[in-house]
A = this chain, B = another copy of it.
Amino acid sequence: MHGLACGVAKLDNSPPRGTRDMLPDEVSRRELLIGRLVSAYEVFGFRRIETPALEDISRLSSGEGGENEKLVYKVLKRGLDPVVDTGTSPDDLVDLGLRFDLTVPLTRFYANNQAQLPAPFRAMQIGPVWRAERPQRGRFRQFTQCDIDTLGEPGVLAEAELLEATLSALASAGVEPVEARVNDRRLLAAIATACGVGAGRRSSFLVTLDKLDKIGWPGVKAELVERDFGAAVAEETERVVTLLASAVDAGDMLARAADLVPGVADEVLGGLASTADALERLQQDPDGPSGFSYAVDPTIVRGLGYYTGQIFELRHPKAAGSVAGGGRYDGLVGRSLGRQVPACGISIGFERIVDLAEMAPPELGVAVVYDRADELGATLSAARRIRAAGRRATLVPKRSNLRAQLDGLSREGFTSFVVLEGGEAGEERALRSARPSGG
């Protein structure tokens, strides 16, 4: 390499704030994980689709995306005048934005292409999304989501299958044990009504209930009072939800709900019972993924406003928050298509599981150490001989200190080496593993 300074000051070469470069070992690990998830999902008939990273800005600010809509990277129109007119808002200059999730694009995709899609349609999406969040440790402004969705299936088969596929996918990546928690938005609505909350204030009530995990009953009750729900509502909420949450199993919980929450439709409890039954049978099936537990949990809320039925949260003991989540959103496709299409999906938090997944570090195969003085054609042929058997062979120019070089190659992930002499390969020798193991 040329050691000459070239007279240019060193620039800041970091990627944009909140984003990151991915080095080869990390990309290997991520691609291996993606491969496992894809294979697991394909077995269930989910098929990958892709949509553009950019969507019309109106679609990214329709209100469906909740808080995420505030975090959109907005793209300037092309061909603007060189000076902005007086009184212009920055938003007037924008026509596109980077997608903040994969669900908004999916509903547009389905509405755009449904004539060519089977019914029901099982979609798989793996790709980057962008949110201009305040950068913090472990959170990035570009990150990968991995979603499966079933569109056009009104029955609870969709829910049960999505959960089974996700549990299988996580198990195939070694992400175990997982706890699946299931609830239903309609049960939450009936609980709110049973506790004295009017329909108009239900969302606000659920936002507070959703914090139970973090702030406990004293916190939830204080916040309900602070938000003017009154002490009676707060006390009743604690009583009802605690009774429901202390059920010994799903059947017990659903029986208690029938009793304590008179407004809940039989269909809702029946649906939850079906999902719980499917999970129970899955757990006992030797062909199913092991290492998971499940519960019907009346305290699961899920933030997004578009859910209309069952909702899910999958947790792992080593992950803060959930490793996957989702639910039924029967109203969302209709807003694009103009007719209702039932839909249900689960999204794996790819960035949360990538460190939990058990992935062997990549093996780089044979380092073929050559001498720059040797004839090029002979060197290339020698490497080709090794590759002919489908093995990886990487040409590496010989350094003066071969021992130190071999140590470096071992750390890099090579498992063996060959030294070329005059373009002829010597004996292949193993490199002692000097690499931190993955997992």
Are A380 and B15 in touch, CB under 8 angstroms? no
Does residue A78 face the partner (Cβ distance < 8 Å to B)?
yes
Bound CA–CA A382/B77 (angstroms): 53
Bound CA–CA A246/B65 (angstroms): 63
Residue numbers in B under 8 Å from A111 (CB-CB) = 10-11, 13
Are B83 and A160 in touch, CB under 8 angstroms? no
User: For residue A341, which residue of chain B has the nearest CB?
Assistant: B1
User: For residue A45, which residue of chain B has the nearest CB?
Assistant: B394
Does residue A288 face the partner (Cβ distance < 8 Å to B)?
yes
User: For residue A119, which residue of chain B has the nearest CB?
Assistant: B1
Are A96 and B393 in touch, CB under 8 angstroms? no
Bound CA–CA A384/B278 (angstroms): 12
Most buried by B among A5, A96, A120: A96
Most buried by B among A56, A109, A394, A412: A394
Q: For the complex formed by this chain, how many copies does it contain in all?
A: 2
Are A50 and B75 in touch, CB under 8 angstroms? no
Picked from B54, B288, B384, the residue with its CB within 8 Å of the CB of A73 is: B54
Residue numbers in B under 8 Å from A290 (CB-CB) = none
User: For residue A150, which residue of chain B has the nearest CB?
Assistant: B395
Q: Nearest Cβ distance between residue A81 and chain B, in whole angstroms?
A: 8
Are A342 and B1 in touch, CB under 8 angstroms? yes
A364/B3 contact (C-beta < 8 A), A14-B112, A83-B88, A394-B122 known = no
User: For residue A19, which residue of chain B has the nearest CB?
Assistant: B52
Are B122 and A8 in touch, CB under 8 angstroms? no
Q: Nearest Cβ distance between residue A155 and chain B, in whole angstroms?
A: 6
Residue numbers in B under 8 Å from A320 (CB-CB) = none
User: For residue A158, which residue of chain B has the nearest CB?
Assistant: B395
Q: How many residues of A contact B (CB 8 A)?
A: 120
Are B47 and A28 in touch, CB under 8 angstroms? yes
User: For residue A127, which residue of chain B has the nearest CB?
Assistant: B128
Residue numbers in B under 8 Å from A335 (CB-CB) = 6, 8, 11
Bound CA–CA A20/B250 (angstroms): 45
Residue numbers in B under 8 Å from A288 (CB-CB) = 384
Bound CA–CA A21/B109 (angstroms): 7
Are B90 and A93 in touch, CB under 8 angstroms? yes
Are B94 and A88 in touch, CB under 8 angstroms? no
Q: Nearest Cβ distance between residue A338 and chain B, in whole angstroms?
A: 4
A395/B338 contact (C-beta < 8 A), A15-B112, A54-B16, A96-B16 known = no
Picked from B2, B19, B42, B154, the residue with its CB within 8 Å of the CB of A154 is: B2
Scan residues 237-284 of chain A and give those whose CB is less than 8 A from a CB of chain B: 274, 277-278, 281-282
Bound CA–CA A42/B52 (angstroms): 28
Q: Nearest Cβ distance between residue A80 and chain B, in whole angstroms?
A: 5
Q: Nearest Cβ distance between residue A123 and chain B, in whole angstroms?
A: 8
User: For residue A117, which residue of chain B has the nearest CB?
Assistant: B23
Does residue A61 face the partner (Cβ distance < 8 Å to B)?
no
Does residue A138 face the partner (Cβ distance < 8 Å to B)?
no
User: For residue A10, which residue of chain B has the nearest CB?
Assistant: B338
Does residue A74 face the partner (Cβ distance < 8 Å to B)?
yes
> What are 25 pairs between A and B in contact, CB < 8 Å?
A1-B152, A2-B339, A2-B341, A4-B339, A5-B338, A6-B334, A6-B338, A9-B338, A11-B111, A11-B335, A13-B337, A27-B50, A28-B48, A43-B390, A54-B73, A73-B75, A76-B76, A78-B132, A84-B84, A90-B93, A122-B394, A155-B372, A160-B376, A161-B380, A288-B384
Q: Could you list which residues of chain A lie within 8 angstroms of chain B, going by C-beta atoms?
A: 1-6, 8-11, 13-16, 19-24, 27-28, 31, 42-45, 47-56, 73-76, 78, 80-84, 86-90, 93-94, 96, 98, 108-109, 111-113, 116-120, 122, 128, 130, 132, 142, 152-157, 160-161, 164, 274, 277-278, 281-282, 285, 287-288, 330-331, 334-342, 364, 372, 376-377, 379-381, 384-385, 387-388, 390-397, 408, 412
